[in-house]
Every structure is written in structure tokens, then in C-alpha cells.
Amino acid sequence: MPKLKLELQVNGRKVSREAEPHQRLLDFLRDDLNLTGTKEGCGAGECGTCSVFVDGKLVKSCLMPVAKAAGTSVQTIEGLAAPGDLTPVQKAFHKTGASQCGYCIPGMVMAATSALRENPNAGIEEIKERLGGNICRCTGYTKIFEAVEMARDVIAGEMPAAVLEEDAVGESFIGANVRRLDAPSKVSGRLKYAADMKMPDMLQMQVLRSPHAHARIMSIDTSAAEAMDGVACVITSADVPGKDGFGVFVHDQPTMATGKVRYVGEAVAAVAAEDLLIARRAVAAIKVEYEPLPGIFFAEDARKPGAPVLHDYAPDNLVKHIPIRKGNVEAGFAQADIILEDDFSTQQVEHGYLEPEAGIAYVDADDVVVVISPSQNISHHRHMLAEIIDKPINKVRFIMSPVGGGFGGKEDMIYQGMLAICAMKTHRPVQLNFTREESIIASAKRHPSKVHYKLGLKKDGRITAIEFSMLSDGGAYGMSSEGVMRKAAILSCGPYEVDNLKIDTVAVYTNNTPSGAFRTFGGMQAQFATESMMDMAAEALGMDPFAIRRVNMMKVGSRTHTQQELTTASLDRVLDAAEKASRWESGPPTVRGPARKDMNGPDTRKPCTLGARFETATPGPTEAEKVA
Amino acid sequence: MLTCDTYHMPASLTEALSLWATAPEGSRLVSGGTDILPWAREGRAGDVHLPELIDVTRIPELSGHTIANRRVYLGANTVYQDFLTNPELRKALPCMPYCAIWFADDQIREQATLAGNLVNASPVADGTPAVVALNGEIELARLDNGKVVRRILPVIEFIEGPGKTKIAPHEIVTSVILDAADGYGGSFQKVGLRRSLVISVACCAALVRTDPAGRVFESVRLALGGVGPRPIRLTQVEAALVGQKVSRAVIKDIATQAADAVASRSRQDYRRDVVVNFVRAALEEALANQPGGTVNFQDGEELAHA
Amino acid sequence: MMERKLRGRGIAASWYGIARTATIDRAGAWAEIDDGGTGKIVTGVTEIGEGILTVLAQIAAEEMGIRPEDVTIGDNDTARAPEAAHAGATRQTYMIGNSVALASREARSALFAELADHWGVAVDTLKAFNGEVWAVETNQRVSMKDAVKICKARGVVPVGSASFTAHGTGLDPVDGSGAPWQAYVFGTQVAEVEVDTYTGEVQVLGIWAVHDVGRAINPRGVEGQIEGGVVQGLGQALMEDYQTVDGHTTTHGFAKYILPTSLDIPQINCTIVEDPDPLSPLRAKGIGEPALVPTAPAIMNAIYDAIGVRIKSLPATPEKILQALRERHAANQREIA
């Protein structure tokens, strides 16, 4: 394979290197030039974290074969400002709080810089359009827009540069908008996440994942993979030294599949090799014989008689059932003037953190097994790993690398065990970087839900009884299902004082992608149903939606659904503030949209129609005129 | 992951054609790279190893554009962003800016070529209906006894089905040729699950020209994408509109006729409903975008006579 | 005949519990007031973008009497930091914030004890803020840098440590009774949407989000969490859908799994309510997860207000909305007939 000879300029420096013909510009920048500020969030041109300037045009470097960069001038995030300095755009991102986890931020700063270079007078609609190719999962974009507009105004001299500095201190640091400590390292692209880290002698690991949803593993032949040049080790479940099993609540998940696979994407084996390409080819050379088994793909089927048993310890495929009972629902419904009954469902949701899972493991000079990863719970991971690799707990060390988004998706220890075992076998550092596709199929999702809801109320809006039942597909492994069912049950019937309740939440095992921890842990699925029902009740009773909630709201002294007495409660203040802030026009929710007068206010945005830049259609600035 | 033995960047058309003619089986041409790299990933083609990749984007003859004889000759390396930034192209191709602004995002528009998009022939490609509405043709070149020979096909024939075109072995696209439609109002409608960087569920390109008083349709072009395996040019609907009064009632009626042209394998009802509404919106917006004149909807008169 | 674009508004209320559910929760922290009048905090803090590092720096700075930029927070490393457990359950400001506050107080107490003795004043006359220490109603005032020198010259390193506990109880296995959290928060969101009846597309034009956070340590940070939560809620409401067929996903990448971009987001108007927590030193509660709870139902209620169709199955895709409109139209026709 003849190498490419490349001559180009990167951040003002002449670069003359050889590259593999298949490398993308992204790989060349990150691996060969150690410019790791540019990220691979998805590798398919969808997320924008790989954005760089090539000959002045912003492009997605994950879609650019490196040969195309020959003879060009490339500018990356590292090249925007002089070392130790920050551009106005970068400073504005720092000032407004536009940087949260930081993983999208280099790409976003590049897009913002490009926007202002192309049109120094860009208005908010054009700014939004020019950022449309960059995804952020943490910030909701709002403070990013604020930063771009602030930078625009500072550069144009409409606002003084001092606005980019820290606000003057008041009487206290509590309640102050102190700028984020970690923002400078993020807006400059200097912060190293796990995938950016390099250690001498480091191996690359890749994982063989199950193509079947449910199958017995008849045999695994790793001989061809092991024999390949550059392969340092190949591991399977047989290589786990200690007591296998991990999980947030129940330790039902093996480090690698043992005896059978339970979902598509489950780890079956892993290879550590000199480079990524060899590792991937070695993984493809592992031969696994599977005997497919009948699978369960709908939560409703999991507990039917005769359903396949997915975990021996749970013959009815039940992960967890949480019941809550209060008062007497039959009596409650008997007292009701109206009863509404309906069904709701929510889907499995992907966390979509911009940083795909990644990590490094090594064994240090004191024989401590060290794992560096963006784990959301290193305390618990250390506990579990110590048992899995049969080491005393103080001989296992977890270091949290900067997390490029979590939301609950990085609580599960789905790859750290394999890294540790490869490190122990080779006594070399081993790195694994998930692809986006791998992250999507292997990691947990938000629990889907099917809720059946029965709500009884008096004419004055007071709830007399609620019957709430929720069924969730927990997927192949327990993960956080127990906790999610518990939280969903406790919060289900909303912030309302209800005397008669019957609540049941159930999570079952299936052969689908596992469901696990994800921001609100069941709270939003349950309350989606409740808040929909409340509006339906308001319509039926001719009541304003705020009014019906006030009639029922929890107050100081109320007993919650689990019969806890509240010593504080603020829903009254919150409802009042929401009604006021939104200038809510009272009335029952009887499809008043066409008639109401409280809409289209200055606190709403214009609908997006695309084409904002057509309005300011003048030729763009020359290179010399570009401002950002 | 995409790997290859050799990555070529030929500096002339002859060199490219020569490499392409002798490249081993499995080799591919690379234009912007924005289709092939996402394709070689898990969930789609997986890891792909190809012997040779031949990149056509450094061939000078494939760059730039000329306008002559009421036709716009776009070099095959024309990227989508050019339709937004080049004033000549914006004027001559009135529906293309609206199509381009819906196409992916600024970064990908700098990389993705119109020609590459057409050859990829995705049934949901945004560029295709716009090109078809502009009577698009595609010019292909190959070597015949060492000499470059060319042929031209209408794009609507060139695209045979999803991923299938009439491009012959050893051929390279050299040019896309479109009507210069100065004076028309253009528009583009697209439905997707969100506003940016999204695959179309369905899309529609329209060009409209009225009489100077803005009361009568003089010329109409309408094309649909995403509602079938191939782009659809609504020639009957176009013909029915010529000479008709500009009115919302006429537009609504004609749009309902357009729905009959829908033949899609999936999500039939939704696409059908969307098409009717699209065509209405497309015509109304194209009228509004017509440069220069005012447009006079005649519904007021008609209602008075009802 | 229906207008093409119809608008509507809807609301949803919500509640949430702070820290780990139905169990006792704990977090430990170490603090030191250091040379130069700076501060060191070491705790198992898991910054995942929510801004906890900055919040802890503000808390430590306030308690120690120094500036947030003078605070260094140690890495989250099981071999170097005391356990503060995980990022989740909207627990870090509450559990770790309070633990850091108490540890910082202890370090400051050690420093104050030495300084008070050195100056010959009562320890409760000492105040520290923004890098200076002084004794009220005297002219004794030094920089924190000098205060540390004084303390260390007397042989004392001003360190502190603390463990903070949240007393959740388990739930009864039969009736679920119990006290799963010691702190609760409440929220409400109002949504304004525009529905395109030609295509079924929904754009959310405004969200008014009101959330009780107990006490906002960094209000801009709280807003950032609300804005991020709202957009995640919007994504689930309208466009995100992880799908599998027989266990195999059909949404393998971001081309098929649709996340909200800059063009999809509403103007988000945040109002922070402070109902202080009586059981903790800082009085703060939390916002990370609560921010996301009411968004989807508020949007669905707004869609109903606009076009009279209620979507009960998320996401409310354009297809589902057009289908629902078609069915409603057909039902109306049957009524008329």
C-alpha cells in the first residue's frame, strides 16, 4: 500500500508527512499531528465535532480523505488564537456559559468563527443556520447563540471587550454567575478526553459484538486472530479471572458473553493490537458458532407462559416490580364525578452524548490496574472490577477522564472490564474508542414505557383516585431498571395530593437493547402520562389547566404518594410564576389555539423557514477582511 | 471504516479516465467523499476495503461553470454551497438556492458535489428534483481508443432507480447542464424530522413564470423527490397550469391532481397528503419569489362570481 | 378550511426528588486553605458538563473567604479522592456541594482559630471574603495569603474534611410507603408551538420554564441545565426514536436517529424559584433532571391546543400528526353526515 506524500500547511506551519491512503484528514490531524481538539463524534458527517477550515472553508474532516488536503492550508481549533490566548469567539463562549461538557465545543467554536467570517453582521437566524451542522446535546444551544452574538458585537465595536471578562464580584459568590473553570480548556480544544490520550507503547482494542439477539455460543475460535501479525492478545469470557458480573443494581451482566448472548451488540470477545486496523481485521477473523434461540422482542411477551427464560435467576423475566398503594382506589373511583381512562407510550431514547465511550487501561509499577474512562460512577466501578479481576480493591484504580456528556449513559461498566483484562495480559496500556454506531447499539437507552392510566375526579377538579400501571422493556440486562421503576412509581402521579392510589411499575427482560439510567430515571415517562391526563381532565371539566393543578397541588403538610409528609413545597409559587412569565390567557384547554391572544410574543422565536442569508445577499468578505 | 490500497488524485480528465479504465474490480470514483465515507460504516456497508479510489476533484476541466445558449454548464466538481454563494448561479437557477439551503449544512455543502449526489441516486436526494425541474442533463466521458468521447443524457432518464444510474463502466461525469431560468420564481419544499441536516421524507422543486402583469401562468416546472424510486416530473400538471389564472383555487385543484402521480413503497398515505400540500406551497412560494413583478391572485374576483 | 400553520399553548407541572432514591446517600470531601491564599478541594466529583466543578469552587471560595479562581479541585480518582459517588439522581450540588461547604468550613475554622489567637480577638469576630480576612470592629486585616503564612508559621496546616448524609429511607415492599428523599423540587413549563398542517411538522417557538432549585449557586449554570433539559425533552417529544426490529436496530447512526439542531429550538425563558432546603447548610437542591420532566407533555398539550389532536405516543412525528388530523377530519365528516 503506497503511502501518500503530503505537503500542506496546518495552523500556519508547514507540514510534510507520509499518510496512509485511507486516512481521513481527521485521523491525520489527531493521530499524526496530535491535534486532538478536533473530535470524532460520529465519523459520518452528522455531528460537526470534526469541523476544520481547509483553504478558508469550513468542512467536516471525517468526510475528507486526507489526500484532498494536499497543498491546502488547514486551520484547526488549536490554530485560532496564539498559544495561551483566546479569540473573542472563544472568550464569548467562556463568558456566556456556552460550554458544558465541551465535546461539541471545538467544532461549535469553528462553526461560529466561520459564521462571523462569512458574515460579520449575521443576525440570529443566519447564525442558527450556519450552526445547523453542529449538534450539542448538553446546552440546548441558547448560550451558544448568546456567545456568537456577543462576539459579533464585540468584534464590530458595538460592545466593549470588557463584557467578555468576569463580572465584578458582588457581596457573595453564592448566586454569582462565575464563569466556568473548565471552559478555557474546552473552547481552546486543549482538554484531553480519553480518546485524545496517548501513552507510549499503547495498544488499540476492538470488540467483537453479537450479531444475534438471543443465541447460545457453541464455540469461539480465536486462533486465526491470535496468529495475526501485530495482535497482542485476544480475550473471551474464559479470560475473566474473578467473579464475573456487573450492573448498577443487579450484577447480571458478564464482561463478555458467557454461554449465550442476549442482545445484538453484546460483547463476545476483544482484541488488543498494535493499531486500529489490525485490531479490526483480527476481530473479523474470530469465528463464533452460534445456535440462535427464540427471542423476546416485546415487553408484553416477556411474562407469558412458555416465554424463553433470559436469565436463570429470573424465570419469569421480571427485573423489578414496584407497587405503591394508598387509601382505597375502588372507593375513590366510586366517589368520582368523572373518570378518564387512557393509554400512553414513550419510546426508547438514545443518550447521544457527543463523546462516544472511550478508555485506557494499564497496570502500573505497583501492580495497580488503572482504568481511565469517562465513567459516571468510578466508586461503584472500582468495587465491581476488583471482584471481576480478583484483585484487592486498593489494587484497582479508576480515574475519571473528562466526560463528554453522560446523562446516565456512562454509568454502566460495559467496556472497562475488557480493557483491564487486556492490560493485565499484555502489561501495556490498551485503548478502546467506540464508534458512534457501537455506542448506539451497545449502551443503554432510556426505558420505553406503556402506561395505562385511570383518573377519577370530582366536578371541582379534585382528584379522588388514580390507577397507574407502567410496563417497561428493560432489555437484555438489568442495568438501572430497578431504580428506574422505583423512581417512576414514586413520582408517577405527579405533584398532587391524592388520597387513593394504586401504582405498579414493571420492568421485564427482553432481547432488545438494554434500557438503563437516563436523565429523570423514569420520572419523565410517568409524568408525561399524568400531565396529559390532567389536561384531558381540565378539558372535560371546563377548567383552566393551571386551575386544575392548583386544586390538587401538594402543599406544606401534604402526604406524598409514599405517605411522606412534606415540610416544604413550592408548586404554588412555581405555577404562579409560570402563569405570569408566559402571560397565560386563562381558559379550559378546548383547542383555544386559533382564538387565544397570548401567543407570538417577544419572548418567542420566529418559526424557522431557512434562507435567512438570502436577505443579506452581498458578496462575502475577502480573506483579508475576515474578522473572526 | 473505508480502507484502500491506493488513493489517486489525477490532474487531468484523460489521466482520470485512463486510471478508471484499468482500475481493478471494486475500485470507485470519489467526488466530495460525503456519501462513500458514511456508507462504509457499521449498520450500512460495514468495513469496506477497495483496491483503488480515484478522486476527480483536482481535475481542472471539471471545475467552474459557464452560461451559454440559455443553458448553465456546471463542472462536475460544482459543490452545493456554490448555489448559495455564486451570484451568477443564483440568478440563473432560481430553485437551486432554496434546494441548497435545505441540503445538509454549510460544511457538507462545501464538500458535496451535485454530480456526486446525482450519481449516488438516492431516492431521497434533494438535488434531483431541482435538477429535473431545470431540464437537467448529465454529460459523461470515457476513453475510446485513447480519445475522450462524451455523451449527454437527460437526468430523468439517467436515474433508473435507488442507487442505479445509466453510468457505464469506465465513465466519469464531467458536467451537469441545466436550463438558465432567469426570471422564474423558484422554490423548494422539504419535509424531514427536523430543520437541518436531515434526510428528506419527501421534497418538491418548483419554478414559475407569470405574464408581466402577474395574472396568468406562462411557464411552470414541478418535480418531486422521495415519493418513488425515481424523481417525478409533473409534466401534465405543468401543462394544465399554462394559461390558467393565478389563483389559490386553481393551485389547490392542480395540487390534488399531483397526488395521483405518487407511487411510493412505504408511508403511502403520508406522502400523498404531503405531496398535495407541498405542491400548493411550492407554487405559492415560487410565485412570491419571482423577481421583479407583483403577483395578482385572482381569487377575490372568483369568489365574487361564485 | 384550515389555515396552514396553527399555533397553540400547553402547560405541564412536575416534581422530582433530590439525591439517591429510597436509600441513604453520602459524599465525602477534603479541603485545604493553601499557600498564596488559594484553596484545594478533593472529592469524588463527577463533572459531566453540568457545571459542578464551578459550583464547588464558588462554594469553597465562599466558605474559605477566597475567590473561585483561587480554588483548585483535585481529579476524580479512586486512589486520590474520598468517595462522593456518582453523577446522577440530581445529587451532586446537594451531596457534594454540602460536603465541600462543611469541609471548607472546617479548614477555615482551623485557620481562624490560629489567626484569632495571633491577633488576640474572639474567633467569632473574624470574617473572610474574596481573599481577605479581618476582625470586625478592629483594624486587623490581612490578605488570605498572609493569613495562611501566619497559620503555618504556628505549625498548623488549615485542613478540613466532611461527610454529608441525605436520609432517604427504603420503601415498604407492599404499599411503597417511605421517605425516599429529604428534599423535593417542583417545576412547571409552558410551551408554545406552531403546527404545519400541510406536513405535520411541529416547531416549538417558546418555552417558559419555572423551576424551584432551593438556592441557585450559579444562576447562569442553572439556566444552562434548564435549556439543555428542555431541548432533550423536545427531542424526545418530536423526533428521537431508537427503533429495533427483532432486536436489530434500524437507527444505527445520527443520520437515522434524529437529534435537535440549532434550528429546532425554542426561545427558552427561565425563571428560577428559590424555596430553600431546611435540612442542608447550603439550602440548595438541584436542577439537572427536573429540567427535562415537563417538556414533552407541555408540547403535547400545546399541539392539542393548536389542532385538537392529542398525541399519546412519543415521538409526535409529522406522520403521526397528519394521520391524527386525517382521522379527526374523517370523524368530523361522519358527524356532519
* ipTM of this complex: 0.97
Indicate if the alpha-carbon torsion angle B99, B105, B108, B111 is positive or negative: positive
Interface test with A, best of B48, B90, B102, B105 (most A CBs within 10 A): B105
Of the partner residues B41, B270, B273, the one whose CB lies closest to the CB of residue C253: B41
Distance from the Cα of B212 to chain A's closest Cα (Å) equals 24
What's the pLDDT at B305? 36
Domain-by-domain residue ranges, chain B? Answer: 2-55, 60-179, 185-305
B239: which 3 cell numbers? 401543462
**B66 — contact with chain A (CB < 8 Å)?**
no
Which residue of chain A is at minimal alpha-carbon distance from C72?
A181
Residue A313: half-sphere exposure toward Cβ, Cα within 13 Å: 8
Diameter of chain C by CA atoms? Answer: 95
Q: Which residue has the cell 448472548?
A: A261
Of the partner residues C7, C21, C226, the one whose CB lies closest to the CB of residue A486: C21
Q: What's the CA gap between C288 and C52, in Å, rounded? A: 11
Of the partner residues B9, B87, B104, the one whose CB lies closest to the CB of residue A67: B9
> Predicted confidence band at B255 (pLDDT cuts at 50, 70, 90)?
confident
pLDDT at C199 over 90: no
Of the partner residues C9, C87, C203, the one whose CB lies closest to the CB of residue A599: C9
- Residues of the domain holding A65: 1-36+48-73
User: pLDDT: is A516 or B264 the higher one?
Assistant: A516
Domain containing residue A91: CATH number: 1.10.150.120
Q: Are B81 and A60 in contact (CB under 8 A)?
A: no
B203: which 3 cell numbers? 421534497
- CB distance C263–B195 less than 8 Å? yes
Q: Which of A210, A555, A441 is nearest to C249 (CA)?
A: A441
What's the pLDDT at B306? 31
Residues of A in contact with C314 (CB under 8 A): 345-347, 528
Enumerate residues 6+ apart whose C-beta is below 8 A from A593: A599, C6, C7, C8, C9, C305, C306, C307
Which residue of chain C is at minimal alpha-carbon distance from B277?
C198
Residue A17 located in a structural domain: yes
Together in a domain, A65 and A19: yes
pLDDT at C78 over 70: yes
> Predicted confidence band at B304 (pLDDT cuts at 50, 70, 90)?
very low
Residue A153 located in a structural domain: yes
Distances, alpha carbon C46 to alpha carbons A62, A247, A378, A522, A580, in Å: 30, 19, 9, 22, 36
Residues of B in contact with C326 (CB under 8 A): 269, 273
Residues of A in contact with C208 (CB under 8 A): 578, 581-582, 603
> Predicted confidence band at B279 (pLDDT cuts at 50, 70, 90)?
confident
- CB distance C10–A175 less than 8 Å? no
Residue A573 is classified by DSSP as H
The 3-state DSSP class for residue B2 equals strand
C302: which 3 cell numbers? 400545546
- DSSP-H helix ranges across C203-273: 219-238
What's the pLDDT at A620? 60
Q: What's the CA gap between B278 and B131, in Å, rounded? A: 18
- Listed by number, the residues of chain A in 154-193 with a beta carbon closer than 8 Å to a beta carbon of chain C are 166, 169, 172-182
Together in a domain, A24 and A57: yes
- Name the neighbours of C, counting chains with at least 3 Cβ pairs within 8 A: A, B
Q: What's the CA gap between A561 and A497, in Å, rounded? A: 8
Which residue of chain B is at minimal alpha-carbon distance from A47?
B197
Q: Are A138 and C228 in contact (CB under 8 A)?
A: yes
Residues of C in contact with B203 (CB under 8 A): none
Q: Which of A429, A491, A502 is nearest to A465 (CA)?
A: A502
Interface test with B, best of A68, A117, A131, A134 (most B CBs within 10 A): A68
pLDDT digits (tens, 9 = 90+) for A419-465: 999 999 999 999 999 999 999 999 999 999 999 999 999 999 999 99
Residues of C in contact with B269 (CB under 8 A): 323, 326
Q: Which of A136, B108, A519, A265 is nearest to C251 (CA)?
A: A265
Of the partner residues A374, A574, A610, the one whose CB lies closest to the CB of residue C212: A574
- CB distance C185–A570 less than 8 Å? yes
Of the partner residues B3, B38, B53, the one whose CB lies closest to the CB of residue A45: B38
> Predicted confidence band at B301 (pLDDT cuts at 50, 70, 90)?
very low
pLDDT digits (tens, 9 = 90+) for B165-221: 999 999 999 999 999 999 999 999 887 666 666 666 788 999 999 999 999 999 999
Together in a domain, A96 and A186: yes
pLDDT at C245 over 80: yes
Residue A69 located in a structural domain: yes
Q: What's the CA gap between A533 and A549, in Å, rounded? A: 11
Q: Are A323 and A504 in contact (CB under 8 A)?
A: yes
Active-site residues of C, by number, are 289
- DSSP-H helix ranges across chain C: 52-64, 97-119, 144-153, 219-238, 295-307, 318-336
Residues of A in contact with C262 (CB under 8 A): 128-129, 131-132, 134, 141, 144-145
Q: Which residues of chain A have pLDDT under 50?
A: none
Q: What's the CA gap between B153 and A296, in Å, rounded? A: 51
- DSSP-H helix ranges across A66-182: 88-96, 105-118, 124-130, 142-155
Residue A104 located in a structural domain: yes
Residue A19 located in a structural domain: yes
Domains of chain C: 5-17+183-336 (3.30.365.10), 24-165 (3.30.365.10)
Query: So what CATH class is B185-305?
Result: alpha beta
Q: What's the CA gap between B138 and B68, in Å, rounded? A: 16
- CB distance B34–A63 less than 8 Å? yes
- Listed by number, the residues of chain A in 401-420 with a beta carbon closer than 8 Å to a beta carbon of chain C are 402-408, 410-411
Domain containing residue A61: CATH number: 3.10.20.30
Q: Which of A147, A48, B193, B97 is nearest to C264 (CA)?
A: B193
What's the pLDDT at A618? 53
**C281 — contact with chain A (CB < 8 Å)?**
no
Which residue of chain B is at minimal alpha-carbon distance from C4?
B277
What's the pLDDT at B252? 87
Q: Are A463 and A340 in contact (CB under 8 A)?
A: no
Residues of B in contact with C263 (CB under 8 A): 194-196
Model's pTM, two decimal places?
0.97
Q: Are A345 and A330 in contact (CB under 8 A)?
A: no
How many other C-beta atoms lie within 10 A of the C-beta of residue A165?
12
**B282 — contact with chain A (CB < 8 Å)?**
no
Distance from the Cα of B243 to chain A's closest Cα (Å) equals 30
Q: What's the CA gap between B172 and B76, in Å, rounded? A: 9
Residues of C in contact with B273 (CB under 8 A): 322, 326
User: B252: buried, middle or exposed (CB in 10 Å: 19+, 13-18, 0-12)?
Assistant: middle
- CB distance B44–C261 less than 8 Å? no
pLDDT digits (tens, 9 = 90+) for C13-57: 999 999 999 999 999 999 999 999 999 999 999 999 999 999 999
Cis amide prior to C315 (ω within 30 degrees): yes
Determine the length of chain A. Answer: 628
Distance from the Cα of A177 to chain B's closest Cα (Å) equals 32
What's the pLDDT at B302? 42
Distance from the Cα of B30 to chain A's closest Cα (Å) equals 9
Residues of A in contact with B3 (CB under 8 A): 22, 277
Of the partner residues B9, B55, B196, the one whose CB lies closest to the CB of residue A133: B196
Together in a domain, A20 and A96: no
Of the partner residues C178, C265, C288, the one whose CB lies closest to the CB of residue A141: C265
Q: Which of C74, C88, C65 is nearest to C29 (CA)?
A: C74
Residue A628 located in a structural domain: no
Q: What's the CA gap between A420 and A397, in Å, rounded? A: 10
Number of domains observed in the structure of chain A = 2
A129: which 3 cell numbers? 443556520
B303: which 3 cell numbers? 369568489
Q: Which of B255, B245, B257 is nearest to B303 (CA)?
A: B245
pLDDT at B265 over 70: no
**A348 — contact with chain C (CB < 8 Å)?**
yes
Residue A398 located in a structural domain: no
Q: What's the CA gap between A427 and A421, in Å, rounded? A: 10
Q: Are A489 and A503 in contact (CB under 8 A)?
A: yes
| Burial readout C241-263 (b: 16 or more C-beta within 10 A, e: otherwise) | bbebeebbbebbbbbbbbbbbbb
- CB distance A546–C171 less than 8 Å? no
- DSSP states along A280-329: HHHHHT-EEEEEE-----SGGGTTSTTPPPSSTT-TT-EEEEEEEEES-H
Together in a domain, A154 and A89: yes
Query: So what CATH class is B60-179?
Result: alpha beta
- Name the neighbours of B, counting chains with at least 3 Cβ pairs within 8 A: A, C
- CB distance A284–B47 less than 8 Å? yes
Least confident piece of the model among A544-548, B140-144, B298-302, C260-264: B298-302
Tell me what the mean pLDDT of segment C145-164 comes to. Answer: 98
Residue A415 located in a structural domain: no
Q: What's the CA gap between A612 and A608, in Å, rounded? A: 9
**Between β-strands A203-209 and A267-273, what pairing exists: parallel, antiparallel or unpaired?**
antiparallel
Which residue of chain B is at minimal alpha-carbon distance from A613?
B84
